[in-house]
Structures are given as structure tokens and as C-alpha cells.
Amino acid sequence: MGVDLALLDSTLADLGQPAFRARQVWAWAARGAAGYHEMTDLPASLRDALTERVPFSTLEVERETRSQDGTLKVLLRTHDDRKIETVLMRYKDGRGSVCLSSQVGCPLTCSFCATGKMKFARNLTAGEILDQALYFKRRSTVTNVIFMGMGEPMMNLDNVLAASERLPDLGVTHRRTAISTVGWIPGIDRLAATDMPIRLALSLHAADEDLRSRIMPVNDRYPLADVLAACERFYAVRKRQIFVEYVMLGGVNDQVQHADELAAVLDPKIFKVNLIPYNPTDSVYDGSERETIAAFRDTLEAHGVRATIRLTRGQDIDAACGQLAAKAAA
């Protein structure tokens, strides 16, 4: 990966090559090599044979877009002609954070999210997930990975974890990897049981069960009270704070009363809130006013809950949270 690792293994076996060759190829790919031709410790004949037989990436590049703030968004095409989007956010302090997609579309139907309006096609393979990160590794510094792109990572957790296992080879430690979920309880429990100290982020968006079910239908299946209990179990094992994401929808979930309700259900020792300004999608919602968002934050802080307001990035190229919909593909 960069390559399909199973295909690489069987091809190397076919070619009568020793097992360590696969590790050599992967080490080059993980460091950001652009192709087999760069792998100078492989015999030239083997480089040629691999170039012919094992595609270097499972994904083809359809288009790359650059935002005024330096954010890069790439539209990638799978072998079965599905389109996915991946985003790299670069920061002045040198960090580079890749926002990975885990599914083509999303089976959940959160009312404010553009991806939720696409038809769900399938889970991405571990190779396809890793290849998104490798795409940016070849171009830039990558220090962090967040599963906040298209799809619900906990519904494809086998592949998400298989990809995560290899991220340290790219220089991204598990502690700098985060999985964001709508609150898919079996996934939260499984993540707590792995030996990878990956961070957890919860898309919460409303503390009231009825309101949350209205804007996120998945809440009928996994009610917030049960989700928060799962998060508490996660914290008991991991001792790492959980990020709560809360998208600010004008007149829907952004009043002081909502902040009071939110503070009432969050243990400040366990949770830290990140308020997300709503990014326009084709939905019925408007974003909250700046002052409303600031007042919401102040209310949380007054209750002792730490809260920050997310800096929106890449909005001019539809790369911001909830805007990934492979529009170009339609």
C-alpha cells in the first residue's frame, strides 16, 4: 500500500522473492516514495516486474483543489469507479493533518451533512484508506490523522484499524490518530479494547434525546445516554479526554438552554467540546451567528466544561466538515 499488500505478497512469491522484499517495498511507500523506480535497494528487474504487475496505488487521482488557506482536497477514484474525497490541513506550526474517508458515502442520514445525502456504496478497504494518507505523504508533511472524512468509521472498523496499525510507519503515531463517530456503541467498545491508544471524538450535536434523534436518526438506535456511558467506559480504560463535536445550527441547537443541557450531561474530566460553525450544504439549516457561538462557549465554560470554537478550513473548496460529497463525481 501504496500497494495492495496481499497482491504484492503473492506476486513476490510468484517471482520467487524472499519475504523481506514486501517489507522493503512497504518501507519505501510509507516514507512517501512515488513509485517502485525509487526503491534503489531492489534489483532493477524486480522493480520493473512490480511496476508491471502490482499497481502502486489502489486509487487514481481525479482532481486536486487548493484552498486559499492552504488546505488541499483531493478527489480520488477507486478501481470500481467510486469517488472519495480526502483533505490535508496544513498549519503554521508545521503540523499536517489528514482527514480520511472510511466509506464511499454514508449509510447514516444526519440531516446537516452532505455525505449523508449521497447514496452509500461500500466500505473502503484498508489499502484504500492508507492510500489516501500516502497520497499526501508524498506531497507534504503528515503528522496527524483524523477519521472525519466521508463515512462512519466505526461501521468499517476492521479496515480502519488495519490501516491505523500501519500509520506509525508514515510517522503518525496512534496518539496523533483520532476516530470520530456518531456514537456507534459497539465500535467505541472495540476501540477501547484494542492496544492502540487512538483518540476518540464524538459527534454529539444535541443533548436532548428528541432533538438529537430529529437531526441524527442514528440516535434512535443508539440513544445519547447509552453513547455517553460507552464513552465513560472508554475513558476508564484509556484515560484520554474525548472530543465532543457540536455543529452550531441557527435556532436549532444553539441557544443558552441547549448549552445548559449539554453541560449537564458531560463530565468535564472526560469531555472537551469543540463547537463547529455550520458549513453550508444543501440543507434546511443556517449557521449560528458568531455571537451566539461565543455565548454558547461561555455558557459551557461557566459550567466548568472546556470549549473551543473550531477554525473552519477549506470552506471555499467545499472541503470543510460535512461538505465532502464528491460533488465533482455527480
**Candidate list 33, 75, 113, 317; residue touching ligand SAH; CB under 6 A:** 113
Q: How far is Cα of residue 5 from the mean position of the Cα atoms in its chain? A: 22
Would you count residue 28 as binding ligand SAH (CB under 6 A)?
no
Is 165 noted as a catalytic residue in this protein? Answer: no
Q: How far is the CB of 322 from ligand SAH (least distance, A)?
A: 2
| Options 16-24, 74-82, 87-95, 273-281: segment touching ligand SAH (CB under 6 A) | 273-281
Is 231 noted as a catalytic residue in this protein? Answer: no
Q: Which is nearer to ligand SAH, 5 or 206 (CB)?
A: 206
Orientation of helix 20-30 relative to helix 126-137, angle to 10°: 50
| Strand arrangement, sheet containing 242-248 | 60-66, 72-77, 83-90, 96-99, 144-147, 177-181, 199-203, 242-248, 271-277, 307-309
Q: How far is the CB of 311 from ligand SAH (least distance, A)?
A: 12
In angstroms, the CA 237 to CA 120 distance is 33
Site size for ligand SAH, by CB under 6 A? 17
Q: Are strands 144-147 and 96-99 parallel, antiparallel or unpaired?
A: parallel
Whether 325 contacts 114, CB under 8 Å: yes
In angstroms, the CA 267 to CA 276 distance is 20
- Backbone angles phi and psi of 124, in degrees to 5: -85, 150
Q: Which is nearer to ligand SAH, 142 or 276 (CB)?
A: 276
Q: How far is the CB of 321 from ligand SAH (least distance, A)?
A: 3
| Options 45-53, 158-166, 178-186, 189-197: segment touching ligand SAH (CB under 6 A) | 178-186
Whether 297 contacts 308, CB under 8 Å: yes
Q: How far is the CB of 153 from ligand SAH (least distance, A)?
A: 6
Q: Which is nearer to ligand SAH, 67 or 281 (CB)?
A: 281
Q: How far is Cα of residue 43 from the mean position of the Cα atoms in its chain? A: 37
Catalytic residue among 85, 128, 152, 245: 85
- Binders of ligand SAH among 241-270, rule CB under 6 A? 245, 247
Q: Which residues bind ligand SAH (CB under 6 A)?
A: 110, 112-113, 148, 152, 180-182, 203, 245, 247, 276, 278-279, 281, 321-322
